[in-house]
Chain A
Amino acid sequence: MEIKYTIQGLLIYATIAAYLCAFVITLLRRAKTGHILYLFGFAIAVFSFGYRWYHVRHVPLQNLFEVFLCLGMICYPVLLFCRRILRVGGYSTDMLIGAIVLFPAGFVFNGEPQQLPPALQSWLFTPHVAVYMLSYIFMAKATFQAISQLAGKGPDANENLLGPEQATYRIICVGFPLLTLGLVLGSYWGKKAWGDYWGWDPKELWGLASWLVYVGYFHFRYMFGKKHPRINSFWAIAGMVVIIVTLLWVNLSRLFPGLHSYAT
């Protein structure tokens, strides 16, 4: 655990504080004030990301610090999309997701700027990582919905929102194409950079495993989903667990030596 006494660090802490305040205030049934605070947190997150970009002079998606900074920024528009377009509830937990994903950037990962190694100097760098980050936020939201289903919680009947099982499916349907595109772009980039579109690297394999969990989810839901709706939710939660391993464990643990190690 490390506290960052830098402008970047302060911006992260301010965003976390705004998101947490928004969460508490929304729980206290002051939805409008909560939303304003959430929006304010998002504005700081955008500024924080822009500040980092200016500081490192390349799109800041190179290491885990920058990736989590990005996640803390994109969660607001993604989760607003889930609410307004997909008609999914759980608005207060959205704010919590923002604070949770910014926590590692604020307290765990080293924010020392790094220069891009030759392999990362490619037009594929930004779309590959950005698409993955977007899909991860969608899948995180889907996981919260799956947990709500297992906990027996749902939106009020008068809210005109989807039930949690249906909501989980709908969000995964939005996130899965992004996950697929991330995998395909990564593979295409691997071919350009290392000469092989599939290197059996641990990061690639965990990426494939997370994609396969969702492929399994679709097939399971299609076959047995009506009979065992709770098991659908377990699939969705398993997907998130594998995504977390893909994102963190491979980089943090020394268990899996591989080509993606510069992402630490």
Chain B
Amino acid sequence: MNWITNYVRPRINSIFSRRETPDNLWTKCDNCGTMLFHREVSDNLNVCTNCGHHMGITPRDRFIALFDGGVFNEVEVPLPQPDPLQFRDQKRYPDRMKAAQKETGEAEAMLIAKGEIGRTPIVAAAQDFSFMAGSMGMYVGNAIIAAAEEAVRFKRPLILFSAAGGARMQEGILSLMQMPRTTVAIQMLKEAGLPYIVVLTHPTTGGVTASYAMLGDVHIAEPNALICFAGPRVIEQTIREKLPEGFQRAEYLLDHGMLDRVTPRTEMRDELIQITRMLLGLTPPVKGDLPKPEPETVSNKDETAPEAVTE
């Protein structure tokens, strides 16, 4: 407890003592400890305005910031059978799922959407680390397949934001099987000649890194993101020595040739637009915030293949 939570917060709460006032007006940066006003942080895409530390961001918030005018259409993901193994550890798997759904307000650990970025039609997938550590199970596999199919159908590039602790243990071998399954999805994109850009965010580990997150045409990471197969703790236990500072972080992977770029979240959108348009052979993008696309253009684009893509 510090003076801000004890004194400032009650004061502010009493000033705005309305029901709809969020009770977390202040966010503490996990890195530098600065108290940040929530609006300021969310306007800066959950990047600390003091130290530049990248905090977690939900797929929905990311998409609102990514797509022109914050407009996107969710792509439906076929639901897998729930709890195929009847898995039970200290809790039942369905109970863990329900808790995660309640906490996040999302159905599962991945969100798929289509829309335009810089007037460039794309399909985007984002993994939700706040949902059971973003773990990859049947649903995430289905989501990536759905995203790839949608991209192939409308000849759009796929941009995927990864974030996961790895495979979802509660789905046992079926979660492991998402490694080949998602690889098939990526192959469909590649065969269709469509760009597949992976944005690796903190953290991307385990079976996720060892499948679709490392098969992109272009790999971009957010600063200081942990990206690995085996986590640092497991390695320290195995080799019994302390790992160097920055080991398995984005900048380290960039140095070791596993990434193309490390780009701050606030510059990511422009960079994605730029790269995507070049890969698609389109004219240079119009910079800046674009107005919302006309509703009918969005629906038109859905029915016909976009004219923007030339093959």
A and B are interacting partners = no
